[in-house]
Amino acid sequence: MHRPVSFSNYQDFKKFMINRLPIHTYYSTAYYSDPRVPMKDKEWLGADLIFDLDSDHLPGGEGLPYQEQLKLVKKKTRLLLEDFLMDDFGFQEEHIKLVFSGNRGYHIHVRKKEVLSLPRSARREIVDYITGTGISLSSIFPFEMVTVSTFKEYSKSELSYRFPPSDRGGWSRRVIDLIKYALRRWNTMPKAEVIKEISAIPGIGKKTAVGFYDELYEQGKWKHLIEKGRLDDLSESGMVNQKHFLMIFEEVIKDHSINELSLEFVGTTDEPVTGDTKRLIRLPTSIHAGSFLVVKPIELEDFYSFEPLEDAFINTSEDKIYEIKFDSLPDEGSVTLKGKIYEFEERMNVPECLAPFFITKYQAKVL
């Protein structure tokens, strides 16, 4: 490890890289008044807000073939970009820099004046928001007092909860989507399975679970909930009133579903990376020694068509051929590189531009 190093011009940087030939190259995402002075004397001016998505961190991603990992992490990166950073936080394309990590994922850099000076605590709150940490139904469901009965000059009022307006975004929309999904899903399942699933929620017994099923599905109230977006069909005297309904879904959310939903939307972003104000991250346009792919900057408009195993190889000869061999064949059977399918065999002929990938990623040897 050789750090810290600073350069006053590109030529000095290029000379350093050629002479040192580093296996991995990282740079600081922080800004300093004078990067050349010792670390203790640096004046910190700010730092990019960084999101690091890696297929190894995605549920089920680790067991997938490499090509499938890349597809999955690209999907999650797109959702993080569109659903959270651009929709919820309102960042514009000019604020966002996207980089393929060179191996299993993507780095997102947010460079906007208002976020550069954010402390660690604020950056952690952003991660909490994205992962749905601390979501509460009481903060999502609006309510009002409605009159349910009158007698002479007396009237009885009850709380009436309703779904948030359809145009509300953020986690309000996502939680309502989750509730509607759960209601529809339970309608397709056998009664015994629904009762077993609900009664397994901490604090919900079998009696309440049976009452929940009977009131919502035997009486068909689940459809009204979705159509009307109100909970006042659930009477205060019923086995599952509005309070019980919210309690059941509060437990579902606290237990696992919000976490699962956040993973469905974005996978997981590496919290230590996002929360760090002095983070080192791979240098764009450098080579990743674990794959020999380029740590490649990507324009957002090109992201949807970007394919790492086509677009991130170094620009070397496709005519010069190398013979390689495997001591142990990869489990995948084949891999598609630059539009061509390569079936794994004990000995293979591959072009120069792909040989380093087979060597670093699949432990091939050059003959």
Closest by CA position to 191, among listed 212, 175, 222: 212
Closest by CA position to 7, among listed 30, 27, 21: 27
How many angstroms separate the CA atoms of 263 and 250, rounded?
Answer: 18
Model confidence pLDDT, tens digit, residues 20-46:
888 899 999 999 988 888 888 889 999
Tell whether the model's pLDDT for residue 152 goes beyond 80. no
CATH superfamily of 10-131+268-310: DNA primase, PRIM domain (3.90.920.10)
88 noted as active-site residue: no
Of the residues 52, 177, 233, 276, which is catalytic? Answer: 52
Which one is predicted more confidently, 172 or 356? Answer: 356
The pLDDT of 317-330, averaged and rounded, is: 90
- Give pLDDT, residue 293: 95
- Give pLDDT, residue 349: 95
Of the residues 12, 48, 54, 128, which is catalytic? Answer: 54
Model confidence pLDDT, tens digit, residues 246-297:
777 776 665 445 555 555 545 456 667 888 888 899 999 999 999 999 999 9
- Give pLDDT, residue 143: 63
Token digits of residue 148: 């349910």
Tell whether the model's pLDDT for residue 167 goes beyond 80. no
232 noted as active-site residue: no
How many angstroms separate the CA atoms of 93 and 301, rounded?
Answer: 9
Least confident among 170-179, 316-325, 358-367: 170-179
- Give pLDDT, residue 251: 67
- Give pLDDT, residue 232: 65
Closest by CA position to 64, among listed 223, 267, 213: 267
Of the residues 48, 232, 233, 270, which is catalytic? Answer: 270
Pairing of strands 297-298, 44-47: unpaired
270 noted as active-site residue: yes
Q: Taking the domains of the chain in order of start, what are their residue ranges?
A: 10-131+268-310, 137-263, 315-366
- The strand ranges marked E within 210-309 are 280-282, 297-298
Element (H, E) at 73: helix 66-79
